[in-house]
Chains A and B, each alone.
Chain A
């Protein structure tokens, strides 16, 4: 018996109620344990796609399955447990008075309680290195700490796939690296929506480029980002001074 892929998207199309067509038939297959970057310019449909994965939006056409389970109304609860979305602004995600309560919110909704709930919270906070901040208000944390707590709130649900929306935005370089260290140590399937191309190279061996609601490229991150024509066509750009070669390590020669 083969294990089903963590994520399977087939021919997904979606139009907003106002008629704006955001997705025109997206195909995407992510195996268990893969880390994939979802790249594309603003307005390409990245966030719209992400919100389909846990059934916030329902497909106009096509289908989505998570770990073999179809995203449809009857499965919504289990789907939302399996898909952990970490939103771009931690202030949108962290809404409880204390860090510990916020991390407990997800698993408690999915029916975990008592000592098991406590253990989930402890483990998730320990994983992101925030165990000692359990009783503090998210308001009093730094941006990097908040981002890691937001990640913990989702990890506590033990998801099949983690979906991160712009995880590196608004973080200072050290906080970026700390978050990357945490993500690399997880071993969970990850889909990372980002504009931060160096971050994509550092974290995700594979990348998918989406533009105008369709997948326009899918392959090893390094190969895609070493293709200047592809980048230019889809409004992607490495930061000044970065050059990538298909085989060698990436360097920041000109910037230093």
Chain B
């Protein structure tokens, strides 16, 4: 399933992690993140434990840590806020290299940074081992609203079609001497966005007609007959269990 429809966050493979049913992985990732968020920020060792846990999963899934870390740069813009906190936070303050830093600010920054990073790494691990298509199937099996699934499925399929349409419209504008670098020509681009919206809307109507013609009655038929067993759940939820143990340890220690 989903072969030939890769996304940049997916790393093809056939490891046990890749082969787990997607709904198991979604639930495990979600529980893992909940545990991370619930861990007290002072329990520094526990956070190291989470990292080791993720590292173990990467080893099983054969994902090079560098591959994941490069993609985790997506987090960078959100870190900016965290960096400001030690300077703007309240008393007590401590001196470090001639800088006056706020202690609660430092802890707050650490809290955002470590929990955010672990959350991003967990999501990336899920994305790296699960094709988009399977993520949608997983959400469907977890009884996410059918309409949401349908919208996401269609978005997945048509994003490239619409991007292609936008590209052709841009080429057509440029071919007629349009150069959007000049401020006074920005209007044409804006109108282009408007007509792209109308085109996409019309395409949506045609797609809907075509779906109706093939008997669509509002719900995606279930095409995949793989069965998720209790063994899958036990395997998949094992890391979440470890994460829970770590969180509990954190609560006891602090």
Name A's B-contacting residues (CB within 8 A).
51, 54, 56, 77, 80-81, 83-85, 87, 89, 91-93, 95-98, 101, 104-106, 108-110, 113-114, 117, 135-140, 153-154, 157
Chain B residues, CB < 8 A from A92: 203, 206-207, 209-210
14 more A-B residue pairs beyond the given contacts A80-B213, A85-B213, with a C-beta to C-beta distance below 8 A: A84-B213, A85-B210, A87-B213, A95-B207, A95-B211, A97-B132, A101-B1, A105-B216, A105-B221, A105-B223, A109-B215, A110-B215, A135-B4, A138-B157
Known: A95-B154, A96-B157, A97-B157. A80 touches B212 (CB 8 A): yes
Q: Could you tell me if B5 and A137 are in contact, using CB atoms closer than 8 angstroms?
A: yes
Min Cβ gap B204→A in Å is: 10
Contact of A109 among B160, B203, B210, B214 (CB under 8 A): B214
Nearest opposing residue in chain B for A163, CB measure: B213
Give every chain B residue within 8 A of A80 (Cβ-Cβ): 212-215
When chains A and B are docked, how far (Å) is the Cα of A106 from the Cα of B133?
19
Tell me if B153 is interfacial: C-beta within 8 Å of chain A. Answer: yes
Question: From A105, which residue of chain B is reached at the shortest CB distance?
Answer: B214
CA–CA, A105 and B222, complex, Å:
9
Query: Taking the complex as formed, is B186 at the interface, i.e. its CB lies under 8 A from any CB of chain A?
Result: no
A97 pairs with B2, CB closer than 8 A: yes
**Chain A contacts for B217, CB-based, 8 A:** 77, 109
Spell out B's residues near A (CB within 8 Å).
1-5, 132-133, 153-154, 156-158, 160-161, 203, 206-207, 209-217, 221-223, 225
Complex contacts, A157 vs chain B, CB 8 Å: 214-215
Q: Bound state CA distance, A117 and B2, in angstroms?
A: 18
C-alpha spacing A136/B2, complex, angstroms = 8
**Chain A residue with minimal CB distance to B209?**
A56
Distance, CA A104 to CA B1, complexed state (A): 13
**B160: chain A residues within 8 A (beta carbon):** 139
Contact check, B1 vs A98: say whether CB atoms are below 8 A apart.
yes
Contact A87 B4 (CB under 8 A): no
Bound form: Cα–Cα A114–B225 in Å:
8
Question: What are 11 A-B interface contacts by the 8 Å CB criterion?
Answer: A85-B210, A85-B213, A91-B161, A95-B153, A97-B157, A101-B1, A109-B215, A135-B3, A137-B4, A139-B157, A154-B214
A87 touches B210 (CB 8 A): yes
B1, B161, B215, B225: residue with the most chain A Cβ atoms closer than 10 Å: B215
Which residues from chain A contact B212 at a C-beta distance below 8 Å? 56, 80
Q: How far is the CA of A234 from the CA of B209 in the complex (A)?
A: 29
Report how far A72 CA is from B157 CA in the complex, Å: 32
A104/B223 in contact, CB under 8 A: yes
Nearest B residue (CB) for A118: B225
Tell whether, in the assembled complex, residue B213 and residue A108 are in contact, meaning their CB atoms are under 8 Å apart.
no
- Closest chain-B Cβ to A144's Cβ sits at a distance in Å of 18
Given contacts A92-B206, A105-B214, contact A98 B157 (CB under 8 A): no
How many Å lie between the Cα of A108 and that of B225 in the bound state? Answer: 12
For the complex of A and B, list the 7 residue pairs with the smallest distance between their C-beta atoms, beginning with the closest: A108-B221, A109-B215, A106-B214, A92-B206, A136-B4, A135-B3, A137-B5
Which residues does chain A contribute within 8 Å of B133, judged by CB atoms?
97-98
In the complex, the chain B residue whose C-beta lies closest to that of A99 is B4
**A contact residues around B161 at 8 Å (CB):** 91, 139
Contacts of B1 on A, CB cut-off 8 Å? 98, 101, 135
A54 touches B213 (CB 8 A): yes
Of all chain A residues, which has the CB nearest B220?
A105
Cα-based distance from A40 to B225 in the complex (angstroms): 46
Q: Is the beta-carbon distance between A98 and B203 smaller than 8 angstroms?
A: no
Q: Which of B5, B213, B215, B222 contacts A97 (CB 8 A)?
A: B5
Interchain CB contact (< 8 A) of B2 among A51, A77, A98: A98
CB-defined contacts of A139 to chain B, threshold 8 Å: 5, 157, 160-161
Measured CA separation A136–B1 after assembly (Å): 9
Q: How far is the CB of A98 from chain B (nearest CB, A)?
A: 7
- Closest Cβ of chain B to A60, distance in Å, is 19
- CB < 8 Å: which of A136, A140, A153 contacts B214? A153
Which residues of the other chain, B, contact A153 by a CB distance below 8 angstroms? 214
Q: How far is the CB of A170 from chain B (nearest CB, A)?
A: 14
Contact A87 B206 (CB under 8 A): yes
Q: Are B5 and A101 in contact (CB under 8 A)?
A: no
Chain B residues lying within 8 Å of A81, measured Cβ to Cβ, are 215
Given A105-B221, A157-B215: A97 touches B210 (CB 8 Å cut-off): no
